[in-house]
Amino acid sequence: MSYTQCMALSTAAEPVPFSVDAHGVARVGGTRVTLDVIVGLYRMGESAEDLHRDFPTVDLADIYQLIAYSIRHKEEVDEYMRLAAERAAATRKLIESQPGYHEERAELKARLADRMRELRGQ
């Protein structure tokens, strides 16, 4: 048997491991994890293995494929991430503008601090 008969490697293109939902959010590999989270953390220095450990529902091969996609399509991914950051900021602003938001947040933080003291036995 020749080397070429034994090594039939596929050169078929594989689909990108994310899909865009009805809200325009790119989710990875059928999970709730978003493209901007994976690519953003990778760009901040996380390795593919670190990302897989932090997001075990995302297949390691899909993470590598996303990294490659984000390098090959840098301008498109940069624009997507810019728009995602704008949407997140607008949502945060809307939430923070709701009546009672700051009081409720302060109360929740106080309850969390109490609970943490309780757990530490203080």
Answer whether residue 111 shows pLDDT above 70: yes
What is the DSSP code (8-state) at residue 13?
P
pTM score, whole prediction:
0.75
Backbone angles phi, psi at 47, to 5 degrees: -85, 165
- Contact assessment for residue 17 and residue 62, using Cβ atoms and an 8 Å cutoff: yes
Measured CA distances, 24 to 18, 50, 81 (Å): 12, 26, 12
Structure tokens at 66: 């996303």
What pLDDT shows up at residue 122? 65
Average pLDDT, stretch 53-62? 96
Residue 6 pLDDT grade (very low, low, confident, very high; cuts 50, 70, 90): low
Residue 4 pLDDT grade (very low, low, confident, very high; cuts 50, 70, 90): low
Residue 107 pLDDT grade (very low, low, confident, very high; cuts 50, 70, 90): very high
The model's pLDDT over 15-48, given as tens digits with 9 standing for 90+, comes to 889 999 999 999 998 899 999 999 999 999 999 9
